[in-house]
Structure 1
Amino acid sequence: MKTYVIYNKKSNNDQGAKGAFRIKEIWTQKELVYKEVNEFDTYQELFDSISPDDEVVVCGGDGTLNFLVNEIDCDSIENRVYYYPTGSGNDFWTDIGKSAEDGPALINDYLVRLPSVIVNGMTKKFINGIGYGIDGYCCEEGDRQRTKAGDKPINYTSIAIKGLLFHYKPTRATITVNGETHVFDKAWLAPTMNGRFYGGGMMATPDQDRLNTQRTVTTMVMYGKGKIGTLAAFPSIFKGEHVNKTKIVKTFVSNRVKVAFDRPVALQIDGETVLNVREYEVITAE
Structure 2
Amino acid sequence: MKTYVVYNKKANNNQGVKGAFRIKDIWTTKDLIYKEVNEFDTYQELFDSLDKDDEVVICGGDGTLNYLVNDLDCDAVDNAIYYYPTGTGNDFWTDLGKTEEDPPMIINKYLRKLPVVKVNGMKRKFINGIGYGIDGYCCEVGDKQRAKDNGKQINYTSIAIKGLLFHYKPTKASVTVDGKLYAFDKTWLAPTMNGRCYGGGMYAAPDQDRLNPERTVTVMVMHSRGKIGTLAAFPSIFTGDHVKKKDIVTTIVGKSVRVEFDRPVALQIDGETVLNVREYEVETAEA
**Fold shared per TM-score above 0.5:** yes
Q: Determine whether 1:216 maps to 2:216.
A: yes
Equivalent in the alignment of 1:9:
9
Equivalent in the alignment of 1:33:
33
Deviation at 1:117, TM superposition (A): 0.2
Output one character per residue of 1:121-171: Cα deviation in whole Å (capped at 9) or x when no partner. Answer: 110000000000000000000000101011111110110011001100000
Q: What is the alpha-carbon distance in structure 2 between the residues aligned to residue 60 and residue 224 of structure 1?
A: 36
Q: Determine whether 1:82 maps to 2:65.
A: no
Map residues 57-96 of structure 1 onto 2, 5 A cutoff: 57-96=57-96
Equivalent in the alignment of 1:206:
206
Q: Give the alignment's Cα RMSD to 1 decimal.
A: 0.6
Q: Determine whether 1:133 maps to 2:133.
A: yes
Unpaired runs of at least 5, structure 2: none
Count of equivalent residues: 286
Deviation at 1:180, TM superposition (A): 1.2
Equivalent in the alignment of 1:114:
114
Counterpart residue identity of residue 144, structure 1: K
Deviation at 1:179, TM superposition (A): 2.0
Deviation at 1:223, TM superposition (A): 0.2
Equivalent in the alignment of 1:195:
195
Map residues 168-247 of structure 1 onto 2, 5 A cutoff: 168-247=168-247
Which range moves more in the overlay, 40-49 or 260-269? Answer: 40-49
Map residues 145-184 of structure 1 onto 2, 5 A cutoff: 145-184=145-184
Give the SS at the match of 2:19: helix
Give the SS at the match of 1:185: strand
Q: Determine whether 1:48 maps to 2:48.
A: yes
Deviation at 1:97, TM superposition (A): 1.2
Q: What is the alpha-carbon distance in structure 2 between the residues aligned to residue 219 and residue 150 of structure 1?
A: 33
Q: What is the alpha-carbon distance in structure 1 between the residues aligned to residue 225 and residue 239 of structure 2?
A: 20
Q: What is the alpha-carbon distance in structure 2 between the residues aligned to residue 224 and residue 144 of structure 1?
A: 28
What percent identity do the matched residue pairs reach? 75
**What TM-score, normalized by structure 1, do the two folds share?**
0.99
Equivalent in the alignment of 2:273:
273
Q: What is the alpha-carbon distance in structure 2 between the residues aligned to residue 3 and residue 118 of structure 1?
A: 35
Deviation at 1:224, TM superposition (A): 1.9
Q: What is the alpha-carbon distance in structure 2 between the residues aligned to residue 60 and residue 178 of structure 1?
A: 34
Deviation at 1:225, TM superposition (A): 3.1
The structure 1 segments of at least 4 consecutive aligned residues displaced by more than 4 Å after TM superposition are none
Deviation at 1:226, TM superposition (A): 1.3
Q: What is the alpha-carbon distance in structure 1 between the residues aligned to residue 179 and residue 77 of structure 2?
A: 35
Deviation at 1:212, TM superposition (A): 0.3
Q: What is the alpha-carbon distance in structure 1 between the residues aligned to residue 226 and residue 2 of structure 2?
A: 56
